[in-house]
A and B are shown apart, each in its own frame.
Chain A
Amino acid sequence: MTQEIAVVGSPEFTTGFRLAGVREFAEIPDEEKPDRLDAAVEETMTNDDVGIVVMHEDDLEYLSREVRQRVERSVEPVVVTLGGGAGSGNLREQIKRAIGIDLMDDDQPDS
């Protein structure tokens, strides 16, 4: 089954991906994000043709708790966030919970 990559974010964020050929995208200007991002993300995630959703890490802040949890836990489609640094928030929490130690600790030399 072939699927597509989708991008959700501000027009500045999505333009580059569209330049690379991404067809599924939702452009939401920064000032409308608090109101519209939830719905846009939900819609993109329920689209069966979408296999990967690309978002900016900062945009997660605009999401309501429920949607955010879905974004963080979802496997189909999987959401990849950009711009957040290596210790991407939720995954790190989940690792701590499942294994018992913070494996993504930046202070550790190399584990």
Chain B
Amino acid sequence: MAEDVKPTRKNLMEIEDRIEFSERGHDTLEQKRDGLIMEFMDILDQAQEVRSGLESDYREAQRAIDMARAMEGDVAVRGAASALKEHPEISTRANNIMGVVVPQIESTKVQKDLDERGYGVLGTSARIDEAADAYEQLLDSIVLAAEVETAMKKLLDEIEKTKRRVNALEFKLLPELRENQEYIEQKLEEQEREEIFRMKKIKDKKEAEEAEDEAAETHSEETEETVTADD
């Protein structure tokens, strides 16, 4: 990987900028991840509560309908069930937890009065009413559970995503950038050393040449002198 970059000063500066940027991003993402986990913990507590409430509601509802079935017969219960006119509806609103959109579910027409149910009051017994009551309550719990569990699923997804990003930065991108940075730095140093060495060589050569010139000059002067001396 390190061989992909050209060891120039411009590239080095660019890489240094990117490292700084990535580190900043990494810190921010890490904070986001921790924040999300904190939010998640809160919701988890809530979810466990809702879950256990849901299970006990379900058991109760089952008992009520078993009772109704035993007393009234399956057909009567089914008949009453098919006669229902009002239907529970839910509407969702978006709620935002640290950038994660979680739904807030509201239900209407879950709890109904006796006369709203539509199966008549005379034809059926209190057992069936009880069962219907229990199931209405169960539906309320289900709506709550759906809300909390959706939030949990979304938060978990986001946590996983953020975690992957943090890890990608920490274990892939940043090490690679640092490797490149080091490579370029060493390469540049190497070039500098080569340059100094080259300079030295040139200087030596120049000095040697100058010395030679001087020597030649003094030699010629000497010969000149001797010539004049001869005169």
The finding on whether chains A and B are genuine partners in a shared complex, rather than unrelated, reads: yes
Which A residues are closer than 8 A to B by beta carbons? 1-5, 11, 15-23, 51-52, 54, 73, 75, 78, 80, 82-83, 85-86, 88, 91, 94-95, 97-99, 103-104
B128 at the A/B interface (Cβ < 8 Å)?
A: yes
Shortest distance from the beta carbon of A82 to any chain B beta carbon, whole Å: 5
CA of A98 to CA of B156, assembled, Å = 6
Shortest distance from the beta carbon of B27 to any chain A beta carbon, whole Å: 20
CA of A54 to CA of B140, assembled, Å = 12
Which B residues are closer than 8 A to A by beta carbons? 37, 40-41, 44, 48, 51-52, 54-55, 58, 61-62, 64-65, 77-78, 80-82, 84, 86-92, 105, 108-110, 112, 117, 128, 131-132, 134-136, 138-139, 142-143, 145-146, 149-150, 152-154, 156, 159-160, 163
A91–B149 touching, CB < 8 Å: yes
Partner of B145, one of A22, A80, A103: A80
B159–A99 touching, CB < 8 Å: yes
Which 7 residue pairs spanning A and B have beta carbons closest together?
A20-B135, A18-B81, A2-B89, A16-B65, A19-B132, A23-B87, A20-B136
A20–B132 touching, CB < 8 Å: yes
Q: A75-B153, A78-B150, A95-B44 provided; 5 other pairs, C-beta below 8 A?
A: A19-B128, A20-B84, A51-B146, A86-B48, A91-B149
A95–B156 touching, CB < 8 Å: yes
CA of A15 to CA of B110, assembled, Å = 16
CA of A36 to CA of B62, assembled, Å = 24
Residues in chain A near residue B138, CB distance under 8 A = 16-17, 20
Partner of A2, one of B37, B64, B91: B91
CA of A80 to CA of B151, assembled, Å = 13
Contact A19-B55, Cβ < 8 Å, known A52-B143, A80-B142:
no
In this complex, what residue of B is CB-closest to A103? Answer: B44
Shortest distance from the beta carbon of A98 to any chain B beta carbon, whole Å: 5
B54–A82 touching, CB < 8 Å: yes
CA of A8 to CA of B202, assembled, Å = 90
Residues in chain B near residue A19, CB distance under 8 A = 65, 77, 80-81, 84, 128, 131-132, 135
A98–B163 touching, CB < 8 Å: yes
A5–B51 touching, CB < 8 Å: no
In this complex, what residue of A is CB-closest to B108? Answer: A2
Most A CB within 10 A of own CB, among B52, B62, B154: B62
Shortest distance from the beta carbon of B179 to any chain A beta carbon, whole Å: 28
CA of A88 to CA of B55, assembled, Å = 11
A5–B90 touching, CB < 8 Å: yes
Partner of A21, one of B62, B84, B154: B84
A78–B89 touching, CB < 8 Å: no
A3–B92 touching, CB < 8 Å: yes
CA of A69 to CA of B152, assembled, Å = 16
Contact A99-B37, Cβ < 8 Å, known A16-B61, A20-B88, A20-B132:
yes
Residues in chain B near residue A86, CB distance under 8 A = 48, 51-52, 55
Residues in chain B near residue A83, CB distance under 8 A = 55, 58
Residues in chain A near residue B44, CB distance under 8 A = 95, 103-104
Residues in chain A near residue B41, CB distance under 8 A = 103
Residues in chain B near residue A52, CB distance under 8 A = 90, 105, 142-143, 146
